[in-house]
Amino acid sequence: MSGCSVPTPDPAKVLTKTTFSLANLSGFNYHLDLDLVGSLGNSLATPIKHAHFQLAGTSEDKPQAVPQFTLDANITADSATGPIQLAGNVIGLADYTYFRLTNLKFPTLSPIAVSANSHWYKIQSTPDTLVDPGKRLGASTSPPLVTAQQIVDIRKAVADESLFQVTQTFPDTTLAGHRNYHYQVALNPEDLPRMAAVIAKDLNLSAPTAAQISAWEKYSAEIWIDKSTYNLTQLKISGTSPGKAGNIVFAALLNLDHPNQPAKISAPTNTEELSPASLRSLLPTF
Give the per-residue pLDDT at 65: 64
Q: Is residue 5 part of a domain?
A: no
Give the per-residue pLDDT at 53: 95
Q: Is residue 175 part of a domain?
A: yes
Q: Is residue 90 part of a domain?
A: yes
Of 192 and 89, the one with more pLDDT: 89
Q: Is residue 186 part of a domain?
A: yes
Q: Is residue 6 part of a domain?
A: no
159-174 exposure pattern, b = at least 16 Cβ within 10 A, e = fewer? eebbbbbbeeeeeeee
Q: Is residue 37 part of a domain?
A: yes
Q: Which domain holds residue 76?
A: 11-282
On average, the pLDDT of the chain sits at 78
pTM of the model: 0.80
Q: Would you list the DSSP string of 86-152?
A: EEEEEEE-SSEEEEEEEEEE-TTPPP-SS-SS--EEEEE--HHHHH-GGGSTT-SSPPPPPPHHHHH
pLDDT band at 264 (very low <50, low <70, confident <90, very high): confident
189-222 exposure pattern, b = at least 16 Cβ within 10 A, e = fewer? eebbbebbebbeebeeeeebeeeebebbeebebb
Give the per-residue pLDDT at 72: 96
- Domains of the chain: total: 1
Give the per-residue pLDDT at 148: 63
pLDDT digits (tens, 9 = 90+) for 191-221: 777 777 777 776 677 777 777 777 777 788 9
- What mean pLDDT comes out for the span 18-35? 90
- What mean pLDDT comes out for the span 280-285? 55
Q: Is residue 1 part of a domain?
A: no
Q: Is residue 197 part of a domain?
A: yes
Q: Residue 137 pLDDT > 50, yes or no?
A: no
pLDDT digits (tens, 9 = 90+) for 39-61: 777 655 567 889 999 999 998 87
Instruction: Kindly state the percentage of the chain with pLDDT values over 90.
Output: 31
CATH number at residue 152: 2.50.20.20
